[in-house]
Each structure stands twice: as structure tokens, then as C-alpha cells.
Amino acid sequence: RAATAIMLYSFGAREGEDRGVLETDLVAATLAPGLDRNVLVAALHDLREEELYLHYTGRRYRFEPTPNLTKLVRDEASKFTGAEVLDTIREQLEEHLKGSRGVVVWPDGPGGIDDGKPLFSVAYLHPDWAPERTPLASFVEHSRSGPRRYQNALALVLPDAGQFDQARQAARSWLAAQSLLRQKAKYGFSAEQADELKEKAETSQRTAAAAVGRGYASVVTPLKDRGGQAAYSLESTDLRSLLTAGRSLHERVVDALSHRVFSTITVDKLLALAGLGPEKSAVVLSDLVDWFYSYFDFTKIWTRRVVAQAVSNAVAGSRAGYAVGLVRGDGTTEVRDPKLIRIGEVLPGDEIDLSGDAALLEAGYAQRMLGAAHAADGARPEDWQTVPA
């Protein structure tokens, strides 16, 4: 029905008019009761890929007695290797993920995900990843240098094979159209054929980008096993069920993880996880940050600045003290100058030192240390206070 209508519209144009028919006019002319518009649009798309004498230029369809560029594009597409096509798809994916922190694209196994610093990583697995070859547990448990240290700082985004098949096909057509455009002098393309190739390239690029944007089906995170039978269990969240309008792939992943990975934590949660109390007066902040990223008992956080802001809030509310300038010994941590302990003060989160030279102090202990330091003005080095590690 669609092809017949295009054929009829391919004749009889007045002088100076563009021959052929716009898609909107064609759909309007072929609609009938019981025939859905989307079916017609899909049929037109298939015709453009299959019919050798159907031309689509200037957004108009028409038949010509000369072949179109479809076969030429197909022949050119077959010249590109699978690796070249995947490189193009990877470029598309990296464009989708541009500016996203902690992203790992197509890691070559567990060793491809960095384990050298505390940072939450979101790994987008290779389109050809298969669980029988590389189990998800291996990503959680292993790194390049041995057992993974930061096991609580990982999310794995799993590919949708069907979407990546579409992306491969579109990427091939895109590469072929671009290649032919570069060789237009060799083939002697007319201006109209060059326009048709440009349109094919643009359409294929959009199709590939859209398929890559839908190319991941779910995101998996390791969580503490509720039954206690294992160290952790894997929770999967479906990305396809999330609304995609106006949102990038990574935004949907972040949304899917929003109930498991947090941008803030409360002071109560910070103090509970730090374990401060009568038997533990201080915790070194670099150790505390490591615990958040290492142990499944701890809250998952996007960045270490989450800890810094919680420390700032705890100090401002006199719920804990903060000290910089430590000497760490065998089982003890010495505060160089107790007069520099901060409690009940507003300290911006970006000024909190999270290194091994700073500590979070139990509130009562910090008050006593600070009071004693001010009372003993001019204290000597041998009088430094010792904080149980």
C-alpha cells in the first residue's frame, strides 16, 4: 500500500516542484480504518532499507528508474571489521557518559576496575559480556592485584544484547555512508546523491546513539546478605522500566541506584558507624572513609565528600570533635596540639581533612582534651595527650 502510493506520487510534478511525497502527506494518503499510523511509519522505514529503486532525499519519497545507494552502502558496510564498529559504538557510549564521575567503560575483566582509591565505581560491561565467562562475583571479589579491597564501592551495568545488535547495524551504515562521502569524486555522485548519503549518515548516527542509550538493561549492586549465608548478595534493578524522556543513560543508572547509594548521611549514622564511645574515643578519618567503601555493613556513598560533610555537621552540632595533626604509634594516636581540636564550630565540608592526619573524636573526650589544653598553657611535647586508636 505504501509502495503503491509512493509510485503514484513519483509522477506528474509541475515544473520547478520537487518530485515525490513528504512522509506526513504519504501517511495521510494511505491511512484507513483499522490501519495504525505506526505500522505505516515502520513499513516506510523498512522500504527505505530494502527497495533498490526507492529514493529518499529532501524528506521526500519517490521511485526512480536508477538504483538508489542502499546496495552501495551495504557493500561498503561489509568492509568494516567488528572491532571498528565496536570502536564507533564505544565513542557513542562515552559521549553519553561524558562528565560522569567514577564511570568505567567496558572493563577487561575484574582487573579493569580500579581498586587503588576510595571511589564509587559504575562499570558499564562490554556488549559481549557473558556471565558464564566472567561471573559478576568475580568483579566484586577480585581486582588486578588480588582480592578487591573496596567491595562496597561498585555497581555493574549489564548490557542488552538486542539493543547492541541494533547499534552495530546502525554504526556500520553510518561508517559506510561517511566512507562513501569521502569517495564521492571516485564514484561521481551527483549533488542529490551526496545529500542522500548525508541523510543516511545522520539517520544511522541517530539510530546508533539511541540504541546505545537504551543498550543497558539492568544495574547490579552487591549488598550485605540478609540471611547471613554469604558475605553479600547481588541486587538487580531494571533500567528499562525507568522513564527515559530527557534523561541520559547515566542519569537513569543513578536514579536506579538512588535507594542504595547516597549523596548524604546523617550525623547519627556517621557516629554509629564510626563506633565512638567510652571505649573508642577517636577514629582516624582515612580509616573511616575506607570502611565506607570496603564493608557491606556501611552505607554506600558516591564520594568521600559525603563523609566530610557529615563530619562538618557533627562538629557544628557539638556531636563530635575534629582534630588535625596526629602522630600514630603502636595502637595509639597522638594529638600534636589539643588546643587545635574543633567542636561546636562551623567548618565547611570542603575544609575537612580526610587523610590519616585527621581524626573524629568522641564529643565528651574532645571537650575534656580541649579544656585541659587551654588550662595547661604552654604544654611541652612530652605532655601530648594520647587517644586510644
383 compared with 110, residue with greater pLDDT: 110
DSSP 68-124: -SHHHHHHHHTTS-HHHHHHHHHHHHHHHTTT-TTEEES-SSGGGS--SS---EEEE
Give dist(CA 378, CA 366) in Å, integer. 19
**Four-CA torsion 172, 177, 180, 185, nearest 10 degrees:** -170
Q: According to the per-residue pLDDT averaged within each range, which of 236-250, 301-315, 375-389 is highest?
A: 301-315
Question: Mean pLDDT over all residues of the chain?
Answer: 88
- CA separation, residue 348 to residues 170, 309, 313, 353 (Å): 50, 7, 9, 11
Residue 297 clears pLDDT 80, i.e. is over it = yes
Closest CA to 273 of 300, 298, 253, 236: 298
**Whole-structure pTM over 0.85, yes or no?**
no
249, amino acid identity? L
Taking a C-beta distance cutoff of 8 angstroms, is the pair 93, 208 a contact? Answer: no
For residue 1, the SS3 value is: coil
The three three-digit cell numbers of residue 205, written as one number: 548516527
Arithmetic mean of pLDDT, 278-292: 92
The three three-digit cell numbers of residue 335, written as one number: 594529638
Arithmetic mean of pLDDT, 331-360: 87
Contact partners, residue 212, CB within 8 Å, separation at least 6:
89, 92, 93, 96, 163, 164, 167, 249
The three three-digit cell numbers of residue 151, written as one number: 567491595
